[in-house]
Amino acid sequence: MRNHETTGQAGPNRPARGEQPAPGGTAPVSGKPATADAPAHAGAPSAEPAHALASAPADAPAGASARPPEVAHTAHTARNAAVRKAVAGRRGTADPVRALMHRHRELCERAVDPLEIAAGLEAHGVTDRTAARYRHRDVFSLAEELFARVPAVAGEPFATEPAPARDVTTRAAWTLRALLPGAACLATLAALRLTDGMPGGDVRLAIGSGGALLTLIALVLAVRTGPLSAATRFSGTAALCVCWLLGYVLYGDALLNQVLSGGPEGPWTLTPAPLLGLALAVAPAAWCAHLFSRYTRRRLHGSHALEEFAAGVRPLLFGVVALFLCALAVLLYLARLGFGTGGSATGAAALGVLLLLARLLTVHGFPEPAATGLAAACAVEAAAPALILAGRLPGLHPVARPVDALVEAGGTGAVPALACGAAALGLLITAVLALSRASAHTAP
């Protein structure tokens, strides 16, 4: 019986199915296949019969005996369960990218390219570190997957915004409105020059007041339409700061001179040339804002990463500011030729750059730093005469020394140049950081 069970075991000397046994060998027990008595475990890795495995000789080598079928079946089932669990984890409702897609579905559906989605995610505080939690190297890579995975709305493909067409009529309309402040200021100054020397000051006062009001209305109209318009308007504090800065252009130097000489006393001398140059510069400012917005939009649609977009916007911002500064310098020079050399051209140029940067930041959704820069310039200009007056009090002479030293070095025009120049530099740094973000140029 021992020999009979042993010959039924599969081994290297067992004849193949249908062969005759070798001479001197032992014949098989029956003509059935060796797997006929195997248990019906479809998933078992071994095809050997259970009775053969159970009756393996005790003196067989260690590597020749296989695992029992119960152990093999259990290991195979556990492995299949692990695979099914991993697949379900990838395809189930716990997909983090799908959750993010639903959270920003409106942003993804209206985007025309992945960069707009990246800009929107950036505006919502999603950083490259956040994208790493979604197994993406950066925000743009995550945006590409969102753009590809969001289904079309109502069976339609994503809406594509065509490039803005060259609407000559619209451009001509806002260009004419941008020319109105300069035209109103020029007409007012020309009327005041014609009435110079006339008896009585009521006529000149009426002309000056009416012209100033007309210029302010034209300025408001110019900044509420066209490239200088913004969804977020200036606050009341910012508007007061602009009025102060423009008023200082007219009367600031004369006021500071009188305070330094022991005053103030008597009427202040009007210095209209810098104000005229600034009023005429509204049109170049509108065109510079238009060029900046147009080319940043074009770069937004042509870039393939947020870093690439930011690297292209920074030199564009510097170029626009430099272009406006050149145009403003020409206009200030022409205004000085026509209406005298009074006032500080350097301070007026610094104020023009400050106003342009403040408006650009406001247009692109950053009114708070714009208002802060304007308020800082006003504070410095107001502090100069106040410190001189405070220095007249006993024991407070040192507080007036910084202003005295500044005026001695650069004249009274150094005060607005320092105030507006420092504020403009601060806004330029802010604009480089803020306007190089793609989210500052996406449609609201």
- Return the higher-pLDDT residue of 283 and 128: 283
At 97, list the tokens.
């990218």
Q: Residue 437 — pLDDT band, cuts 50, 70, 90? A: confident
Please say whether the beta carbons of 406 and 418 come within 8 A.
yes
DSSP conformational letter for 127? -
- What is the DSSP secondary-structure string of 129-150? HHHHHTT-SSHHHHHHHHHHHS
pLDDT by residue (tens digit) across 388-413? 988 888 888 888 889 989 988 888 88
User: So what's the pLDDT on residue 148?
Assistant: 63
- Return the higher-pLDDT residue of 427 and 1: 427
In terms of Cα–Cα distance, which of 435, 271, 425 is closest to 340?
Answer: 271
Residues 6+ apart with CB under 8 A from 93: none
What is the CA 97 to chain-centroid distance, rounded?
A: 22
pLDDT by residue (tens digit) across 422-435? 999 999 999 999 88
- Return the higher-pLDDT residue of 103 and 444: 103
Could you give the C-alpha distances from 407 to 28, 272, 401, 411, 415, in angstroms and in order? 120, 21, 10, 4, 7
Average pLDDT of the chain to the nearest whole number = 74
pLDDT, mean of residues 211-240: 85
Amino acid at 237: T
pLDDT at 37 over 50: no
User: So what's the pLDDT on residue 125?
Assistant: 72
pLDDT at 294 over 50: yes
Q: Residue 322 — pLDDT band, cuts 50, 70, 90? A: very high
pLDDT by residue (tens digit) across 325-382? 999 999 999 998 888 777 788 999 999 999 999 999 998 888 899 999 999 999 999 9
User: So what's the pLDDT on residue 333?
Assistant: 93
CA triplet 141, 146, 147: central angle to 5 degrees?
Answer: 95
118-125 contacts at long range (C-beta below 8 A, 24 or more positions apart): 118/142, 118/143, 118/306, 118/438, 119/300, 119/306, 119/437, 119/438, 119/439, 119/441, 119/442, 120/439, 120/442, 122/306, 122/437, 122/438, 122/439, 123/437, 123/439, 123/442
- What is the DSSP secondary-structure string of 176-217? HHHHHHHHHHHHHHHHHHHTTT-S-SHHHHHHHHHHHHHHHH
- Return the higher-pLDDT residue of 43 and 188: 188
pLDDT by residue (tens digit) across 6-20? 344 444 444 444 444
CA distance 385 to 407: 11
Q: Residue 233 — pLDDT band, cuts 50, 70, 90? A: low
pLDDT, mean of residues 181-187: 93
Please say whether the beta carbons of 322 and 357 come within 8 A.
no
Q: Residue 305 — pLDDT band, cuts 50, 70, 90? A: low
- Report the phi/psi class of residue 380: left, alpha or beta, with left for phi > 0 and alpha for psi in -120 to 50: alpha
pLDDT, mean of residues 280-284: 95
CA distance 119 to 440: 8
For residue 401, the number of C-alpha atoms closer than 13 Å in the C-beta half-sphere is 5
CA distance 135 to 180: 55
Cα radius of gyration (the chain): 41
CA distance 213 to 279: 13
Q: Terminus-to-terminus CA distance in the chain, angstroms?
A: 91
Among 36-45, 169-178, 182-191, which is the least confidently predicted range? 36-45
Whether the CA torsion 352, 353, 355, 360 is positive or negative: it is positive
pLDDT at 279 over 60: yes
CA distance 401 to 382: 16
pLDDT at 277 over 80: yes
pLDDT, mean of residues 231-253: 84
pLDDT at 441 over 80: no
Please say whether the beta carbons of 438 and 304 come within 8 A.
no
Three-state DSSP at 8 gives coil
pLDDT at 288 over 90: yes
- Return the higher-pLDDT residue of 223 and 105: 223
Q: Residue 316 — pLDDT band, cuts 50, 70, 90? A: very high
pLDDT, mean of residues 291-318: 80
What letters, b where the CB count within 10 A reaches 16 and e where it falls short, cover 147-175?
A: beebeeeeeeeeeeeeeeeeeeeeeeebb
Please say whether the beta carbons of 286 and 225 come within 8 A.
no
- Return the higher-pLDDT residue of 346 and 56: 346
